[in-house]
Each structure stands twice: as C-alpha cells, then as structure tokens.
Amino acid sequence: MSGKVRTKVQYWLDEIAEAGRTLHDMGAAEGAAGNLSLFLPDDTIGLSGLLLARMSRQRSYPVASGLNLPTGAILISGSRRRLRDLDHDLDATLCAIEVEKDGSTWLHHADGYEIEPTSEIDSHLAIHATSVAGVARINAVVHAQPPYLTYLSHIPEYQDEERLNRQLLRWEPETIVNFPHGFRTLSYVTPGTPELGKQTGLAMLRHQLVVWNQHGIIVWSDRSLTAALDLIEHAEAAARYEVMDIQCGRRAVGLTIADLRGIVDRFKVETNLLESLPEVLL
C-alpha cells in the first residue's frame, strides 16, 4: 500500500493488533519486550474522531527539538505493555502522540488508563522524523528481538557490519532485493536512551533495518506495519539459516559475491554494497 493512500483509521488499528500478535507468535516480543509505532497524517479518515473520543488528549508531551514531524499522530505501544495484548485490549496497550500545525505535541490515550509511550520513544521519534522528512505520509516502526538475529548480534564476528551482511545475504536471493543497502549495525548503547535514538535516526538515513548489537533490531517501512514485519521475516530467515550452518559445522557455501551480482543485475537493484563485502566466508 502506498504511503500516500488515506485509509480509514480502523484499518490501521486492526493492523496494529495483527502486528502485535504476529511479533509474539514469532517469539520476537516476549512479555513486554518489543514495541511498535505508526505515523498517520492528519487527514487520515477517522483519526480526528479517534483522538477526540477513544483516545482523548491527556497532557502536553514535549519532544526533542529539531525533529521535523508533520501534522498527524503517532500511534505507539505503551511502556511495559505486552504487544500481544494489542489484539484484544487495544485501549490498555496503545497511546498516541498528536503533532499539531504549530508544532505542539500532545499525549493521548483512553480514559481510565495511565499509559506512557514505550521507553524506546527517542528511537521511534527519530526514525519517523528521518523517514517522513516533513512529508505527511504513512510510516511504521517496529522494534523486536527476533531470536536468531538477536543471537548473532552477541557474537563478536557478527557485530561487524560488513561481515554480518556477507554471511546473511548468501542464503536467499530475495534478501539483497529487499535490503539493497544491507543491514546496519550499531554497537551496544543503553536501551531507552536519547543517545540510542540519535544514533538510530542517523543509521536509518540509508537503511531500513538496524541491528542493535546485544539488544535486538529496529525496522521501518513507509508502506505499513505489515511491510515492516515482512522485512523482519526476511532478515530473521537469513539469520536462522546462518545459525543452522554454525550448528552443522559451517558446511554450506551459499550464494557467492558473483551470484549476488547476477541477482542485482537481473532485478535492477541499485546498490554498491557488494563492493565492500569480503569474498571469504567465516
């Protein structure tokens, strides 16, 4: 779905619920781990009604200066809330940050609840600001801990960005098509800090998926949450093959750099990633 399409807000609420359930079923959001957000432009059908009736304005919610957010609302999972609960108890799990034309920002949530945005709010806001760049359009962000990707991020060799990309891009032809710039890695930063948000926002200038070493991953899409989850599935599949190969004594060869170049040429993928990757595998 194009980010320019104005779909009714109920569609997006249903997608948020489905995304929470899917992440839990993937084993990527245990307990209250993981979080998600969705920026909706202010002309989204039904958004104003949602913010007036179901998720009323609670108080001012200042955000960091310099973030270029257009008018609209960021629907975002709450701190210490289980993503799987989005499926059946949305009011107790979801909140919103409304952005008005004058730049003022307000926290909204259902009456009778005390919900604060996820502790990773700095990263979500930085990615939305980077991705939409002042243009009102759909934008989705998901942070999760898919087991295989997260496991690899604890191994020193895989914390190197070029090495991670070489090892993971070899498993399926679709991977480089979906990630023409590969996977970005960030050294461990204390979770839920402004510094992590700053580094993540900069990393997303060219990448759609960032591996937070020893923490998990974060991904964005200007299509939908479903599209963001598809990216997670592709990346996690590659990581699963890599872990299987480690367990089997590294017996597989996978796609060579020459094979990857053939895929890039065939599908007209615009990338210079392959020039920086090592030929030799671990």
CATH of the domain at 122: 3.40.225.10
The pLDDT of residue 98 is above 90: yes
Predicted local confidence at residue 7, as pLDDT: 74
Q: What angle do CA 44, 50, 55 make, to 5 degrees?
A: 135
Predicted local confidence at residue 20, as pLDDT: 98
Predicted local confidence at residue 6, as pLDDT: 52
Q: What total of structural domains would you count in the chain?
A: 1
**Whole-number percent of the chain with pLDDT over 70:** 98
Helix (H) or strand (E) holding 141: strand 139-144
281 in any annotated domain: no
Give the range among 5-9, 10-14, 19-23, 70-74 with minimum mean pLDDT: 5-9
With beta carbons less than 8 A apart as the criterion, state whether 70 and 41 touch.
Answer: yes
pLDDT tens per residue across span 105-114: 999 999 999 9
2 in any annotated domain: no
With beta carbons less than 8 A apart as the criterion, state whether 78 and 117 touch.
Answer: yes
128 in any annotated domain: yes
65 in any annotated domain: yes
Cα 190 to Cα 219: distance, rounded to the nearest angstrom: 18
3 in any annotated domain: no
| pLDDT band for position 65 (cuts 50, 70, 90) | confident
Residue 51 structure tokens:
């913010």
Predicted local confidence at residue 102, as pLDDT: 94
Predicted local confidence at residue 78, as pLDDT: 98
Residue 87, domain extent: 9-276
* Of 211, 191, 32, residue with least CA distance to 123: 191
Mean pLDDT of 213-232: 98
Predicted local confidence at residue 133, as pLDDT: 87
4 in any annotated domain: no
**Distance set, CA 54 to CA 20, 46, 105, 121 (Å):** 20, 11, 18, 22
With beta carbons less than 8 A apart as the criterion, state whether 84 and 24 touch.
Answer: yes
Predicted local confidence at residue 5, as pLDDT: 45
Q: Treating both helix axes as pointing N-terminal to C-terminal, what angle do 121-132 and 194-203 enclose, rounded to 10 degrees?
A: 30
1 in any annotated domain: no
* Of 111, 32, 94, 115, residue with least CA distance to 225: 94
**Distance set, CA 217 to CA 64, 107, 213, 222 (Å):** 23, 26, 8, 17
Mean pLDDT of 117-121: 98
Q: Which neighbouring-strand residues pair with 211?
A: 185, 217
Count CB-CB contacts under 10 A for residue 196: 21
282 in any annotated domain: no
What average pLDDT does the structure give for the chain? 96
Residue 121 structure tokens:
């709010």
